[in-house]
Amino acid sequence: MSKKIQVIELKEIEFEEREVEGNTEFVEVFKNKKKYPLYLSNAALKKGRDEGLIDGSLISDVIKLDAETKHITDEKEKGMKMLDSLPEHKLHALIYLAFKGANRQESFSLDEFLERYHYSHLETVRMYTSLIKDTMQQNQNAFADGLKKSTQGAKSGEKK
C-alpha cells in the first residue's frame, strides 16, 4: 500500500508599495510559486543527524505529544497544546529534510528553503506530525511484513 505523498508550495515574497485611499501601504506579493513533494527517507534523516539539524528524539517528540493531546477533544485546545510543545527550529529542520528527501536535485540550503517557506506555525506543526506519523507507520508496516515473511512456513519451535 502506498502512502499519500505530502506536497509543499515554496514561493518568494516581495513587498510592493501601493496607494490605498490616499495612504501608502506595503503588501506582500508571492512570486515564483512551485510545488514539491515531501518524503522523509532514512537517508534524509541520517543526513540531518550528521549535519546536526535534528537529534535522536524526533519520533519520541511526536509520541509524547500524541500522548499529551490524546485526551483533549477540543480541536482548538489540542492545536494550542501542539503549538506550545514543539520548537519551530525542530519543525522546520524536519520538513526541510523531507523536502531534500524527495527533491535531491534541489540545492537549497536550510536558509534558502526557509526564505521560500511561508506557512503558519499551526500548518507547520500539522505537516511535521503527519510526516513523522507516516514514517512511523511505514517503518512499522515494513517491519511487520518482514517478520511475517521470515516466519512463513516455519513450524512451531523451528528456526528458519
CA distances from 34 to 10, 40, 74, 82, 122 (A): 6, 19, 34, 28, 21
Question: Domain boundaries in the chain?
Answer: 38-146
- Condensed to tens digits (0 to 9), the pLDDT of residues 52-101 reads 888 765 656 666 766 777 777 777 776 677 667 778 888 899 999 999 99
Average pLDDT, rounded, for the chain: 80
Do the beta carbons of residue 44 and residue 100 sit within 8 Å?
A: yes
pLDDT at 30: 96
Q: Hey, what's the cell of 132?
A: 513523522
End-to-end CA distance of the chain: 27
- Condensed to tens digits (0 to 9), the pLDDT of residues 3-40 reads 678 999 999 999 999 998 889 999 999 999 999 999 98
The residue-averaged pLDDT of 151-159 equals 49
Separation CA 31–CA 14 (nearest Å): 8
Do the beta carbons of residue 89 and residue 54 sit within 8 Å?
A: no
pTM: predicted TM-score of the whole model, two decimal places: 0.72
* CA-closest candidate to residue 97, choices 75, 122, 128: 128
Separation CA 83–CA 68 (nearest Å): 12
Element at 26 (helix H, strand E): strand 23-38
